[in-house]
Amino acid sequence: MTYPELSKYELAQKIDHTLLKPTLTFSELERTCSEAIEYQFKTVCIPPAWVSPTNRLLKGSSVQTITVVGFPLGYSTTNSKTQEARQAIDEGANEIDMVLNVSFLKSRELKLLSTDVEAVVQACGEVPVKVILETAYLTESERQEAALLCERAGAKFIKTSTGFASGVPETGARLSDILLFRKILKPSTLIKASGGIRDTATALEFLRAGADRLGTSSGVAILKGSKAEGNY
> Which residues are known to be catalytic?
97, 159, 192
- Distance, in Å, from the CA atom of 60 to the CA atom of 18, rounded to the nearest integer, reads 20
Greatest alpha-carbon pair distance for the chain in Å reads 49
At 70, the amino acid letter reads: G
Q: At what angle do helices 175-184 and 140-152 cross, to 10 degrees?
A: 50
Q: How many CA atoms lie within 13 A of 56 on its CB side?
A: 6
Q: At what angle do helices 140-152 and 110-124 cross, to 10 degrees?
A: 40
Closest CA to 210 of 230, 231, 190, 224: 190
Region for residue 118 given its phi and psi (left: phi exceeds 0; alpha: psi -120 to 50; beta: otherwise): alpha
Query: What's the Cα-to-Cα distance from 54 to each of 27, 29, 85, rounded to whole Å?
Result: 12, 7, 16
Sheet strands (E) in the chain: 15-18, 43-46, 64-69, 95-99, 129-132, 157-159, 190-194, 213-216
- Distance, in Å, from the CA atom of 196 to the CA atom of 227, rounded to the nearest integer, reads 11
